[in-house]
A = this chain, B = another copy of it.
Amino acid sequence: MAIRTGPTLADIEAARERIGHVARVTPVYASETLSRRSGRTVMLKAENLQRTGSFKIRGAVNKIATLTEAERSAGVVAGSAGNHGQAVALAAREAGVAATIFMPQNAPMAKIDATRNYGAEVVLVGEGFDEAQVAARERADEGATLVHAFEDEVVIAGQGTLGLELADQIDELQTLVVPVGGGGLASGIALALNELRPEVKIVGVQAETCAPFAGVEPRGHTIADGIAVKQPGELTTSILADRLDLVVTVSDQEIAEAIVLLLERVKLVVEGAGAASVAALITGKVGGSGAACALLSGGNIDATLLIEVTRHGLTQAGRFLVMRTRVEDRPGELARLLALIAGERVNVLAVDHHREGMNLPVTGTEIELTLSTRDEEHCGELLVRLAEWGYPTERVS
């Protein structure tokens, strides 16, 4: 078998011509907050603002643009738990080709809706990505045209157009940090940048619970579902072995903190996979020096998950305090406590009464308070004040 080295720079440049009428050139921003946190200049490539909310549209448009007439009229199929499905749906619609997307039955409604809104037929099948992928392959065996998410030179060439844009947009680029799932994105970008900017160090990031490129056996769930690929492709594995300078891993906790920073300070909604690159930078795992760019690969995070992550991030930063105390079960006692707290300029978000508890005297009521605090120090001060006022305190989170 011939050694497969992936698309050439000319292939990637041809892809740029083909995708320009559908995909956007996404902006690059310097972030003062992230630069301070990382001790180096941090730029962000905001591919979360790409059409369909992720880079996948680049590869999908390039692939569909290069199909034969027979392949087009057979219709395209893809198996996807998310971004690739939306991308193939839109790319097919723009090219006037029929699309069927197989998605897991538990896929978030927002993703199913978005895919349908792009005009694709959505078939819900099985419990996860693997079963959706098998169903897509079966349909392809019956004659439809499969658009694989990463194991395809033409798809990789499409993703590589991001490398061309980065070379145009960031003169001082020294290090690029790219999320790695199936490996198509990192492969395409590395092939382009190695030619145009051989001095740029390219660092791949994986979630620590699913990091085959870092030699870690997949062992669990991650909020970075977009890069939770247990089995990368042979082609992408071969390209990345050659082209990546380093692969690092980040935890869900680190990714969650990056999501909250991007939301609060950069005003961008970024999904777990996309925020993994920022997580790697702010935790100092990337190494090297000089200007670094984090690729924000996508923004398709379920709003329910975004709420959970943000709430968790704020709690970690001491911006929420959940605590229990006890008050006498008499009129006015709760009001007195709340007035004292208000005097400290602390906003009360929730009050829960627990009248049945292990350690409650008969006339006592346990109160759980959720408070909006300024930072960890403020939480500590408040607990001290409550103790001074005579309230027993127990911190919940």
Contacts and interface: CB of A to CB of B under 8 A. Distances in A.
Contacts of A311: 307
A287 interface: no
Interface in A288-323: 299-300, 303-304, 306-307, 310-311, 313-314, 319-320
A110 B33 CA distance: 12
Contacts of A237: none
Contacts of A53: 267
Interface of A: 24, 27, 29, 32-33, 36, 48-49, 51, 53, 105-106, 109-110, 117, 260, 263-264, 266-270, 299-300, 303-304, 306-307, 310-311, 313-314, 319-320, 345, 349, 355-356, 372, 374-375
A49 B48 CA distance: 13
A51 B263 CA distance: 14
A49 B280 CA distance: 23
Contacts of A27: 27, 49
B314 A310 contact: no
A384 B45 CA distance: 47
A303 B374 CA distance: 12
A241 to B, nearest CB: 33
Given A314-B304, A356-B355, A299 B267 contact: yes
Contact of A375 (B24, B51, B109, B356): B109
A345 B314 contact: no
A267 B48 contact: yes
Contact of A306 (B109, B263, B299): B263
Nearest to A378: B109
A314 B306 CA distance: 12
A263 to B, nearest CB: 6
Contacts of A270: 267
Contacts of A267: 48-49, 53, 268-270, 299-300
7 contacts: A49-B266, A263-B303, A267-B268, A267-B299, A269-B269, A307-B310, A307-B311
Contacts of A300: 267
Contacts of A117: 32-33, 36
Q: Which of A48, A51, A307 has the most CB of B within 10 A?
A: A307
A264 B110 contact: yes
A374 B27 CA distance: 33
A228 B78 CA distance: 49
A345 B263 CA distance: 30
Contacts of A372: 304
A266 B270 CA distance: 11
A161 to B, nearest CB: 18
Given A267-B269, A267-B300, 13 more contacts: A29-B49, A49-B268, A105-B345, A106-B345, A109-B375, A110-B264, A263-B303, A263-B306, A267-B299, A268-B269, A304-B314, A307-B310, A355-B356
A339 B29 CA distance: 47
Contact of A319 (B264, B266, B299, B303): B303
A306 B51 CA distance: 24
Nearest to A53: B267
Contacts of A320: 304
A258 B311 CA distance: 21
Contacts of A345: 105-106
